[in-house]
Amino acid sequence: MTSRGFVALCAGVIVLTGFAYLAIRMASSQPQPVQPGEVAPDIQGKTWSGADFSLRALRGKPVLIDFFTTWCPPCLDETPDLMAFAAAHRGEIQVVLVDRGEARATVASYIARFHVPDDVAVVLDEGNRWSAPYGVTGQPEAFFIAADGRVVQHTLGPLSRAQMEAGAKVAGK
């Protein structure tokens, strides 16, 4: 190998090592999604009606958070069961729907279509910023949170009514 080839090889190794270092550093600086047993990240924002919302303000009561979109067929399929669950557990467990980035008018149509009651909080996540702290990669995804704020269950995909009831028990309903 010529000295010129050796220098090029060394430079390449140094550059690749630098990129690897940066990739590892960036990955370790990204917050990791919440895991069962950990305290749920506080979701703050506005509801579809313009009211202020903070998940932390619900401490002391179990919570079911469902991340959804109005164009998602499985989300639409689970909505009637979510509404029935919310009605059956009114005052016992707070149901929170987090819309992942849609316009207020679109969400308002969904609320009217499914007769979502006022005691179900529908939070607009206009920038879809709350998905990352929860590790949400699709929709629907649900989280049951105990009264002390800890995540006790995370479910990918639509929830059946039986899964909602089981999750409520785990959350301490």
pLDDT tens, position by position, 68-127: 999 999 999 999 999 999 999 999 999 999 999 999 999 999 999 999 999 999 999 988
User: How are strands ordered across the β-sheet holding 151-156?
Assistant: 52-54, 44-47, 121-124, 94-99, 63-68, 141-145, 151-156
pTM (2 d.p.): 0.81
